[in-house]
Amino acid sequence: MKVGVHKGDPKSLEIKSAVVFVYENDFKTLSRLGRGISTKVKRALELEGFKGKEGQIERIPLPRQRVEIVYVVGLGDKKKVNTDTFRRVSALAIKRIKRDKVEKVLFVLPRGTKNKPFQAVAEGVVLGSYSFDKYKEKKEEERFEVKEVLIQDVDKEAVNRGVVIAEAQNYARDLVNEPGNVINPITLAEEAKKLAKEHKLQCKVYDEKQIQDMEMLALWSVGKGSATPPRLIHLTYKPKGKAKDRIVLVGKGLTFDSGGLNIKPGDYMRTMKMDKSGACAVLGIMKVIAQLKPNVEVHGIIGAAENMPSGTAYRPDDIIRAKNGKHIEIDNTDAEGRVTLADVLSYASELKPSRIIDMATLTGACMVALGEYTAGLFTNSEDFAEEIKEVAKETGERVWELPMDDDRLRKKIKKGPADVVNTGGRYGGAITAAMFLEEFVGEGIKWVHLDIAGPAWSKEDYGYYTQGGTGFGVRTCVEYIMRLDK
């Protein structure tokens, strides 16, 4: 699908279908199609009782008119509309367009749109058109795709940027949705190499022997129970000139999580292909950064493993030495993500970045606390957290900060014979998991941990998402990195 821009009078464009965005009880945008069409559409809306509430879509056929079909899409109360509103309704519109098998369409936005959310409209169009159906046999007539979307009188650069970001998020969604027999630590590493070659990134992949030689015994221990050994993946983007900053993105890459010897019940093992969502988001972000080329040095680091039960699997009561020298006592092998990230965060810290963002489908406890649509945010730097929260409001990726200052909770991961234990009990589980990770972040480095266990996977279609992987984190991290270049 091509997403572009049309400049000038919409009446000069030979196009049979148009999508017009209107505010609730304010249909001024229709006038941009011409008085004759506007009058007819308004009459039809009155007959249908259309008000323009957010997400309302009314299809108005116009026989023998220059524009044969007008889709009127409600934005809702003008005072409450924000950037993500445009992203959501654009996605809903393209889903309807696709369902109606419209090949080419013009999107018309209200004049003087507040905040000029042109990038968000492009993102919504691309995200809303996503489907993962490569394993379904489909008849030719079921393979319909919208060929072209033109957006009236908007900034071309913003639209192009939105397309690049959304396509990378869809790329991350594809990887999340791939099953464990397709994407494992080795094939994920191959995908990273392919991405690096295509976009001229540096890429280094460390195999299981090198991982052990580097004393990354936590990552190795999690992966050694599987017939497919673990991998450490390191992608690097460096600008041509002197970089303004250096940031590291860390992704949890559990390509499948059975729970290990503390094996999950069958119902909880389903969808565990999504336990690599953090890693897939990192790959998506690096894909964007390579194209947008900010003057910021960006590293994407992934600990990839498969957590399986076998005679070689790591065990409860094992004590493992991590890369930074701290010892981890294993209480539960199903708390493997934080053990994996212990080594990856230690490795990332050695790069001496100013900031680290890690993304991980880490705890069910975070979903209990915040629901399925919001990521938990944890930090050692309040100003860094505030910056991420501000960006997330623009990108529509919900985050909520949880506290890290309860010393009584911290004691729960300090008990036992080792420096730290990999679980802190049932209560406050998302917080104690974050406290565990903090033990492996280098001194003086600002760090944000995003527990994306809830929003990384959707059980339903809503907004610009469909069932399955969401690619959560791509938009927020990209936007944050681009702001570092300002």
What are 421-460's pLDDT values in tens digits?
A: 999 999 999 999 999 999 999 999 999 999 999 999 999 9
- Cβ neighbourhood burial of 204 (10 Å; 0-12, 13-18, 19+): middle
Check residue 140 and give its pLDDT: 62
pLDDT tens-digit map of 3-61: 999 998 877 788 899 999 999 999 999 999 988 999 999 999 999 999 999 999 999 99
Asked, for residue 160, whether it belongs to a domain, the answer is: no
Considering 96, 204, 264, 483, which one is annotated as catalytic?
264
Alpha helices in 58-117 (DSSP H): 83-99
Identify the domain boundary among 154, 178, 199: 154
Same domain, 265 and 372: yes
Check residue 90 and give its pLDDT: 98
Check residue 111 and give its pLDDT: 86
Check residue 137 and give its pLDDT: 83
Catalytic residue flag (residue 398): no
Q: What is the domain-level CATH number for residue 173?
A: 3.40.630.10
Catalytic residue flag (residue 96): no
Closest to 67 measured CA to CA, from 19, 17, 101: 17
Q: Positive or negative, the Cα torsion across 448, 480, 388, 254?
A: negative
pLDDT tens-digit map of 108-121: 999 877 677 999 99
Same domain, 195 and 305: yes
Same domain, 74 and 209: no
Q: What is the domain-level CATH number for residue 56?
A: 3.40.220.10
Strand, helix or coil at 471?
coil
**CA distances, 10 to each of 105, 119, 268, 285 (Å):** 11, 20, 52, 35
Whether the CB-CB separation of 451 and 439 falls below 8 Å is answered with no
Q: What is the mean pLDDT of each run of 10 residues along the chain (486 residues)?
A: 90 89 95 92 95 97 91 96 96 96 95 83 97 83 86 95 98 98 98 98 98 98 98 97 96 98 95 98 98 98 98 98 98 98 98 98 97 98 98 97 97 96 96 98 98 97 96 98 95
Identify the domain boundary among 89, 122, 154: 154
Check residue 13 and give its pLDDT: 83
Asked, for residue 276, whether it belongs to a domain, the answer is: yes
Which helix H or strand E contains 204, and what residues bound it?
A: strand 202-206
* The length of the chain, given as a count of residues: 486
* 299 vs 50: CA distance, rounded Å: 49
Same domain, 128 and 271: no
Considering 95, 323, 338, 410, which one is annotated as catalytic?
338
Asked, for residue 417, whether it belongs to a domain, the answer is: yes
Sequence-distant (6+) residues with CB within 8 A of 136 are none
Number of domains in the chain: 2
The residue segments making up the domain with residue 371 are 165-484
**CA distances, 305 to each of 261, 273, 297, 315 (Å):** 15, 12, 26, 16
Asked, for residue 205, whether it belongs to a domain, the answer is: yes
Identify the domain boundary among 96, 122, 154: 154
